[in-house]
């Protein structure tokens, strides 16, 4: 079978080739693949099946320009695409078949929507004439995925494919990014039609991805910041998604503004930046949480005041004037009322704001963050990073990892205690380095996401840090690693418990450990079955060399590290408490 | 303060959009009192009227969530004072009962009702008005063996609206993109938005 490129080459007379629009007969499937190439897609994560077979048949001739990664479960495909998108800043692409193939995408779609990850998922669907007949592997995918996609659309006629895919990529990647699902019936994939070429979409009349910036709000915001005694910046993934890392750095540096990150904002500035005061939220740092309730102007940039960040809302930053910079108007005043809303792309709004700022340093105010850091250092950080017992802690593993990778690795975490510890202690020098499931808290995210991350940033070291619970949710993706040979380093922090739930049971439910005691297989043997090198560490004196061996190893490596069974993550803002009621123990 | 709000949504005509909008309410466990979809003053653009009872704050947030949907052009929300609104109701009664016991002329005059069908066995009245007006006629007809009653969704005109034509120009300020080809399963003849 010929590729579309070959067809165009052969069947187009020389003089016509120069013209952009050439009408040639092609199939819906080839039109899909041509669209992907025109959108500069280089990697697709997917799994074949009946209703998407025509597309896979066409793909057979495209393995040169399009690298298809065969996963072991569609959930793995979509998490991999998320990992790919998050490290590369590009749109992740997923192929899945109808019915169960499509429903297996649901968790990933929900995750990508809440964490604003650009994805285009293409699902096969039964023949159009069978829609609604309960045909084999027919599911109403459009309606199932409506609340968890930024946009979705069912294609029943191949002629729609070029314009619908152009819309899909435009919508997924613009404004506040998100997942888009395109469901293509089998007849449309097979259908021959006159293809007039692919035109990228850059405007949809009912969709305005970037709000108009209103100058008066920029001026009001600048005046508030200039008059502030205790200004405090809290920032989220908006900085990374808006590719505004430099603009943001200039902004905080000119205003001398202490800045704390949300879990997804992490790595937008280097973790050792002098104005970076740590992580916000339930298991964030002491100072940023407490001082949220003491600042006079709170400047929120590209973040959405998640409840894990704000704690109890009616006791959140009530003393402060709030400036909220966000690209999504629906986020303004959703959880926290803003004094000055600054709608817009922070890549544009931040420089406008910076230009109006007075050059300042808030030395005394910044010192308050350092003072809190000192207290936290003594009670929480030191014991976690340098435990005095023989039992290994998660923190010391992350600490060693920092030392060895010098903060240059991409760290992909799953969900739970290990995630909080990794995000608390990981050091990053580059943006797009902290990949985790923030909003949805999807256990099983890390292993496939790390695979995708490596495809998205092949030159970087990718380390997946996963708990023993989460690893067992998607461990079938070891098969993907085996088959593709992708180089992913896997650390399993095994505490033989579903640790985060166990911690809550210990603190709030009188140690009634209801079904949190979880067994693990022999991970070393498991890795061996997948022909992945591996090791297991239980003693401190072997830890450093084990991490070195893992990182030096050519190719994937699995390292299981046995850590304290009943260690807790602190500080902690208990649910229903104010951020200033954060507990150190 | 909770009160009735009428949300007016201008949208593209797209299959599935009704669901996309409806689930914004159901996700938050908000009951839709009435929902109407129809063409608008601008060709090719549809208009939803949705009535809910909520606080202004909630309505504003809902409106922003609706406006966030790709195919939604614009959302307005208004209190009852800010709109002119009407509902239509149909009442089916037994012709014998009604001819015997009521002065139909009086009924028609007093309640602004119209007769839309007279058969040997039944008669159908129609009224258009606000809730109290359509309810009043139920009260009269109930003792006379009201067989069927149905009321339409609210349709509303915003008092201070200058129409949507100017807005559309603004939305189309840039070169309009090629429209997605109509889905073959969408009834093109039917102007009314269908599910």
Domain ranges of chain A: 4-195, 215-368, 386-572
Average pLDDT value over all residues in chain A: 95
- Provide the b/e sequence for A114-147 (b: ≥16 CB within 10 Å): bbbbbbbbbbbbbbbebeeeebebbbebbebbbe
**Residue A449 token pair:** 């996401």
The mean pLDDT of A325-346, rounded to a whole number, is 96
At residue B110, does pLDDT exceed 60? yes
**Whole-number percent of chain B with pLDDT over 90:** 63
At residue A339, does pLDDT exceed 60? yes
- Indicate if A386-572 has the same CATH topology as A4-195: yes
Cβ within 8 Å, pair B12-A206: yes
Nearest to A203 by CA among B173, B81, B49, B38: B173
3-state secondary structure of A492: strand
Instruction: Spell out the domains of chain B, with CATH numbers in brackets.
Output: 3-83+155-171 (3.30.70.260), 86-151 (3.30.70.1150)
Confidence grade of residue B174 (pLDDT, cut at 50, 70, 90): low
The mean pLDDT of B18-44, rounded to a whole number, is 94
Task: Note the pLDDT of residue B30.
Answer: 96
Residue A186 annotated to the active site: yes
Confidence grade of residue A10 (pLDDT, cut at 50, 70, 90): low
Nearest to B151 by CA among B169, B176, B133, B175: B133
Using one digit for the tens of pLDDT, what is the confidence trace for A538-550? 999 999 999 999 9
Nearest to A265 by CA among A150, A433, A88: A433
The mean pLDDT of A114-128, rounded to a whole number, is 98
Which ipTM did the prediction report? 0.90
CA distance B19 to chain A (A): 8
Using one digit for the tens of pLDDT, what is the confidence trace for A403-442? 999 999 999 999 999 999 999 999 999 999 999 999 999 9
Task: Note the pLDDT of residue B166.
Answer: 81
Cβ within 8 Å, pair A154-B64: no
Cα–Cα distance list, A381 to A290, A372, A386, A561, B88 (Å): 17, 12, 8, 20, 69
**Residue A28 token pair:** 């819906």
Task: Note the pLDDT of residue A6.
Answer: 65
CA distance B109 to chain A (A): 46
Nearest to A464 by CA among A560, A332, A548: A560
Task: Note the pLDDT of residue B143.
Answer: 86
At residue B100, does pLDDT exceed 90? no
- Please give the residue that has the higher pLDDT: either A110 or B172: A110
Residue A136 annotated to the active site: yes
Task: Name the residue in chain A with its Cα closest to that of B178.
Answer: A163
Cα(B111)–Cα(B194) distance, integer angstroms: 33
Half-sphere exposure of A220 (CA within 13 A, CB side): 15
CATH code, A4-195: 3.40.50.970
Cβ within 8 Å, pair B70-A208: no
Residue A196 annotated to the active site: no
Task: Note the pLDDT of residue B189.
Answer: 41
Q: Which of the residues A500, A536, A570, A572 is marked catalytic?
A: A500
At residue A249, does pLDDT exceed 50? yes
CA distance A69 to chain B (A): 30
Task: Name the residue in chain A with its Cα closest to that of B58.
Answer: A334
Q: Does residue A128 have a cis bond before it (omega within 30 degrees)? A: no
Cα(B93)–Cα(B123) distance, integer angstroms: 5
Cβ within 8 Å, pair A171-B181: no
3-state secondary structure of B191: coil
- Residues in A closer than 8 angstroms to B60, CB to CB, are 333
Cα–Cα distance list, B189 to A157, A322, B44, B186 (Å): 19, 51, 12, 9
A322: phi then psi, degrees, rounded to nearest 5? -110, 125
β B83-94/A321-326 pair status: unpaired
Cα–Cα distance list, B38 to A342, B48, B121, B131, B171 (Å): 35, 7, 34, 20, 20
**Whole-number percent of chain B with pLDDT over 70:** 88
Using one digit for the tens of pLDDT, what is the confidence trace for A262-287? 999 999 999 999 999 999 999 999 99
Cβ within 8 Å, pair A147-B27: yes
Closest partner CB to B64 (pick from A151, A202, A330): A330
Nearest to A220 by CA among A334, A323, A345, A335: A323
Residue A380 makes CB contacts below 8 A (sequence gap 6+) with A286, A570, A571, A584, A585
Name residue A410's beta-bridge partners. A462
CA distance B49 to chain A (A): 18
The contact set of B with A (CB < 8 A) is: 11-12, 15-16, 19-20, 23, 27, 60-61, 64-65, 67-68, 70-73, 168, 171-172, 174-181, 183-185
Range name among A165-179, A343-357, B95-109 with the lowest pLDDT average: B95-109
The mean pLDDT of B167-184, rounded to a whole number, is 58
At residue A172, does pLDDT exceed 80? yes
Task: Note the pLDDT of residue B163.
Answer: 83
Task: Note the pLDDT of residue B145.
Answer: 85
Confidence grade of residue A19 (pLDDT, cut at 50, 70, 90): very low
Residue A455 makes CB contacts below 8 A (sequence gap 6+) with A43, A67, A69, A80, A84, A486
Q: Tell the CATH topology of A386-572.
A: Rossmann fold (3.40.50)
The mean pLDDT of A527-536, rounded to a whole number, is 98
The mean pLDDT of A250-260, rounded to a whole number, is 98
Q: Class assignment of domain A215-368? A: alpha beta
At residue B144, does pLDDT exceed 80? yes
**Residue B183 token pair:** 């889905």
Residue A408 annotated to the active site: no
Closest partner CB to B64 (pick from A160, A164, A329): A329
Cα(A390)–Cα(A375) distance, integer angstroms: 24
Residue B36 makes CB contacts below 8 A (sequence gap 6+) with B48, B49, B50, B152, B153, B154, B155
Using one digit for the tens of pLDDT, what is the confidence trace for A550-581? 999 999 999 999 999 999 999 999 999 999 99
B134: phi then psi, degrees, rounded to nearest 5? -70, -30
């Amino acid at each position: 079978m010929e590729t579309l490129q070959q067809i165009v080459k052969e069947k187009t007379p020389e003089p016509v080739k120069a013209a952009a629009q050439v009408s040639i007969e092609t199939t819906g499937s080839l039109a899909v693949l041509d669209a992907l190439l025109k959108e500069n897609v280089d990697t697709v994560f997917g799994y074949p099946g009946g209703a998407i077979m025509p597309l896979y048949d066409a793909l057979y001739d495209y393995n040169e320009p399009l690298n298809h990664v065969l996963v072991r479960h569609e959930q793995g495909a979509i998490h991999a695409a998320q990992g790919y998108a998050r490290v590369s800043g590009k749109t992740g692409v997923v192929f899945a078949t109808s019915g169960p193939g499509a429903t297996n995408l649901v968790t990933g779609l929900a995750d990508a929507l809440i964490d604003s990850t650009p994805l285009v998922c293409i699902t096969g669907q039964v023949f159009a004439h069978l829609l609604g007949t309960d045909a084999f592997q027919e599911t109403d995918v459009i309606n199932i995925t409506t609340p968890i996609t930024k946009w979705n659309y069912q294609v029943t006629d191949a002629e729609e494919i070029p314009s619908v895919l152009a819309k899909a990529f435009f919508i997924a990647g613009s404004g506040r990014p998100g997942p888009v699902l395109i469901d293509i019936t089998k007849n449309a994939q097979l259908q021959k039609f006159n293809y007039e070429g692919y035109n990228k979409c850059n405007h949809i009349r009912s969709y305005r991805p970037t709000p108009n910036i209103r100058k008066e709000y920029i001026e009001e915001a600048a005046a508030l910041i200039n008059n502030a005694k205790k200004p405090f910046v809290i920032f989220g993934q908006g900085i990374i998604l808006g590719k505004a890392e430099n603009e943001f750095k200039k902004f905080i540096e000119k205003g001398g503004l202490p800045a704390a990150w949300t879990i997804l904002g992490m790595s937008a500035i280097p973790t050792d930046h002098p104005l970076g005061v740590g992580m916000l939220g339930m298991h964030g740092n002491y100072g940023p949480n407490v001082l949220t309730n003491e600042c006079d102007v709170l400047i929120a940039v590209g973040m959405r005041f998640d409840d894990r960040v704000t704690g109890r809302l009616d006791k959140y930053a009530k003393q402060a004037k709030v400036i909220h910079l966000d690209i999504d108007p629906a986020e303004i005043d959703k959880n926290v009322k803003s004094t000055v809303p600054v709608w817009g792309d922070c890549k544009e709004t931040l420089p406008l704001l910076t230009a109006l700022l007075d050059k300042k340093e808030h030395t005394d105010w910044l010192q308050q963050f350092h003072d809190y850091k000192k207290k936290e250092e003594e009670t929480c950080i030191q014991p976690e990073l340098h435990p005095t017992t023989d039992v290994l802690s998660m923190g010391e593993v992350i600490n060693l990892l920092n030392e060895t990778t010098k903060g240059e690795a991409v760290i992909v975490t799953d969900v739970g205690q290990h995630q909080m510890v990794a995000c608390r202690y990981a050091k990053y020098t580059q943006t797009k380095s902290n990949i985790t499931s923030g909003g949805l808290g999807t256990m099983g995210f890390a292993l496939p996401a790390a695979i995708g991350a490596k495809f998205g940033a092949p030159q970087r070291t990718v380390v997946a840090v996963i708990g023993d619970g989460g690893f067992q949710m998607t461990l079938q993706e070891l098969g993907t690693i085996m088959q593709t040979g992708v180089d992913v380093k896997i650390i399993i922090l095994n505490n033989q418990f579903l640790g985060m739930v166990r911690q809550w049971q210990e603190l709030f439910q009188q140690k009634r450990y209801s079904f949190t005691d979880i067994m693990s297989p022999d991970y070393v043997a498991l890795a061996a079955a997948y022909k992945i090198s591996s090791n297991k560490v239980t003693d401190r004196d072997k830890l450093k060399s084990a991490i070195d061996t893992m990182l030096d190893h050519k190719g994937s490596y699995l390292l299981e590290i046995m850590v304290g069974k009943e260690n807790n993550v602190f500080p902690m803002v208990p649910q229903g408490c104010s951020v200033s009621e954060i507990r150190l123990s | 303060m909770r009160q009735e709000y009428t949300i007016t949504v201008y949208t593209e005509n797209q299959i599935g959009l009704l669901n996309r909008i409806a689930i914004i309410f159901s996700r938050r466990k908000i009951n839709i009192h009435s929902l109407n979809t129809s063409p608008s003053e601008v060709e090719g653009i549809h208009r939803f009227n949705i009535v809910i009872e909520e606080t202004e704050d909630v309505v504003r947030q809902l409106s922003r969530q609706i406006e966030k949907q790709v195919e939604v052009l614009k959302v307005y929300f208004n209190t009852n004072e800010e709109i002119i609104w009407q509902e239509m109701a149909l009442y089916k009664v037994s012709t014998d009962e009604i001819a015997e016991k009521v002065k139909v002329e009086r009924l028609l005059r007093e309640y602004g009702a119209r007769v839309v069908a007279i058969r040997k066995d039944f008669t159908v009245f129609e009224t258009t008005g606000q809730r109290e007006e359509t309810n009043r006629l139920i009260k009269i007809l109930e003792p006379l063996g009201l067989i069927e009653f149905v009321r339409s969704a609210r349709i509303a005109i915003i008092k201070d609206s200058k129409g949507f034509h100017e807005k559309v120009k603004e939305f189309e300020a840039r070169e309009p993109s090629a429209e997605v080809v109509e889905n073959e399963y969408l009834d093109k003849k039917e102007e009314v938005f269908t599910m």
